[in-house]
Amino acid sequence: MALPVLICDDSLLARKQVRKSLPESFDADILTASNGLEALTILRSQEIGLVFLDLTMPELDGIGVLEAIKQDGLDCFVIVISADIQPEMQKRVTELGALAFIHKPVNPEKLIVILKHYGLI
């Protein structure tokens, strides 16, 4: 059965790049959102197993999405993908429940290691 996956980034190019970085063998039903509010609407309306989340977005940023996921008790894995590689930000997203922090652009090999580590592939 395909894993429901949400890719949330305000950049269409970035969303496509994340999708292309997923291994071909990864059985996923992929949905996309272009901002945090769209992401929360999707997360609150259906089960999502994995979220790829950008931090800097209009409407609601990635931190706001992580806070809402935690507050609402939504059950999903979150991998943050961002160009913001400051250690403080990495610590903050981890404290809010993100499994991993990946620097943009996504390195497919690194992504595979993370997905394997958490038993997602």
pLDDT the model gives residue 69: 97
Beta pairing partners, 79: 52, 100
pTM of the full structure: 0.94
pLDDT the model gives residue 27: 92
pLDDT the model gives residue 45: 97
pLDDT the model gives residue 85: 74
pLDDT tens-digit map of 24-42? 889 999 999 999 999 999 9
Domain harbouring 27, CATH code: 3.40.50.2300
pLDDT tens-digit map of 46-96? 999 999 999 999 899 999 999 999 999 999 999 999 887 788 888 999 999
Question: Alpha carbon of 85 to those of 29, 32, 39, 92, 105: distances in Å?
Answer: 29, 23, 22, 11, 12
Structural domain that includes position 38:
3-117
CA distance 94 to 21: 22
pLDDT the model gives residue 121: 86
pLDDT band at 99 (very low <50, low <70, confident <90, very high): very high
- Find the DSSP H helices in the chain: 12-21, 36-45, 62-72, 87-95, 108-117
How many domains is the chain partitioned into structurally? Answer: 1
